[in-house]
Structure 1
Amino acid sequence: MSKLYAITLLFVLPVFSGEFNDCGNNKQAQLLVKLISTDKEQKRTNIRCNILLTRAAEAKAKKMAEYGLVVHNLGGSPNARLEKIGYKLPKHYGVEFNSNQVEAIAGGYSDAIDVWDAFKRSKGHRTHLLGEHELYLEQDEIGIALVKKWESPHVEYWVVYLTKGHQKNQAYSGNFDNIPNKTLFILEQPKP
């Protein structure tokens, strides 16, 4: 009976590997990891947790809450931010001020289900988080954070890092003119 259970479990969670605790800084962030990883439209075959990405997401979410802003380029580009903390990105991602192939952010969504619905309705976020572009499809490491600050304008600040770690002799075989950049895609909960 236990062999059947183990085989069934492998078929239920084919996209995700790792401990959810390493993927998210709290229960809601961990739930968002699960929603992204197990979505029926997810194109990736494997997503791994990376605690460094989770810590980077938490630091970025805290900074957005401190300033009351939901913005990608707070303290530099998302790509440059990851490089600065020691996460080595593929060379073709770039580190210029507007370079963002790794980060999804949102403000004002109180739970993982609401923010996931909003991300899926945004073409840029959906393409990134579900791996609907060849560049994003190769991304296989994730870290997510949710920070709440009641006295700030948005209260809830979400940061998702989903990227590909650097590998020796790594090359991009796609069209360099067609590399997506998500700098302008920001989600804020509409005000009532």
Structure 2
Amino acid sequence: MTASLLVLAMGLGNCQLTPEELELAKALISDKHHIQKPLNCDQDLTWIARARAAMVAQRGKLSHMITSSLGVNDFVRLAGYPLPDNFPSKTVNNLEVLAGGMENGRDAWNALTQSVGHANLLLREDPSYQEFDRFGVGHFYKWFSPYVDYWVIIYATRKAPSPQPHKKTSD
């Protein structure tokens, strides 16, 4: 087995993905940025990503809002994933990227990584994202909708977050 196939097999674990989701997961895992900081597919995050893709498709717009008082951070916290204290609650998103209109997972990955804001999370460039070691991918197809194909990637970890350094205060 070649090294790239081994990395791919290890990263997918036992996630049960649709063919569309598998294409997106392969693009994510095989990206050169994840070789040094590997990610593993998480079935629970995949279910969350699928649900989010369906929610977004039903609304017909790309939005990280779940309800007027619930954002992605809280949605993932409620599912049992600990988040760093500096990740706000309520309607905030530090974990999810959305795309719409791309017909396949490879095109969705390429488009998302070309966006500076999305690439920062996807490639875990910000120190706040370094601890993420799990991901979920979701795809939803809705013919009579603005984007038809909807793509979601969510990152998280099951480990307790490292304490954030406290700022020194003067006495």
What residue is the counterpart of 2:96 in the other structure? 103
- Out of 69, 72, 80, the position equivalent to 1:78 is 72
| CA contact 2:13–2:40 (8 Å) conserved in 1 | no
Gaps of 5+ in 1: 176-192
Measured after TM superposition, the shift of residue 133 of structure 1 is 1.6
Q: How many percent of aligned residue pairs carry the same amino acid?
A: 29
Measured after TM superposition, the shift of residue 21 of structure 1 is 5.4
| CA contact 2:11–2:38 (8 Å) conserved in 1 | no
Q: Distance in 2 between matches of 1:37 and 1:19?
A: 8
Q: Distance in 1 between matches of 2:120 and 2:55?
A: 26
What residue is the counterpart of 1:48 in the other structure? 40
| Secondary structure at 2:118 match in 1 | helix
| CA contact 1:44–1:131 (8 Å) conserved in 2 | no
Count of matched residue pairs:
165
Q: Distance in 1 between matches of 2:28 and 2:34?
A: 7
What residue is the counterpart of 2:18 in the other structure? 26
| CA contact 2:98–2:151 (8 Å) conserved in 1 | yes
Gaps of 5+ in 2: none
CA pair 118-150 structure 1, distance change in 2 beyond 3 A: same
What residue is the counterpart of 2:162 in the other structure? 170
- Out of 141, 145, 150, the position equivalent to 2:134 is 141
Partner amino acid for 2:99?
A
Question: Would you say 1:38 and 2:30 are equivalent positions?
Answer: yes
Output the TM-score relative to the length of structure 2: 0.83
Partner amino acid for 1:40?
K
Partner amino acid for 1:84?
L
Measured after TM superposition, the shift of residue 112 of structure 1 is 0.9
| CA contact 2:99–2:108 (8 Å) conserved in 1 | yes
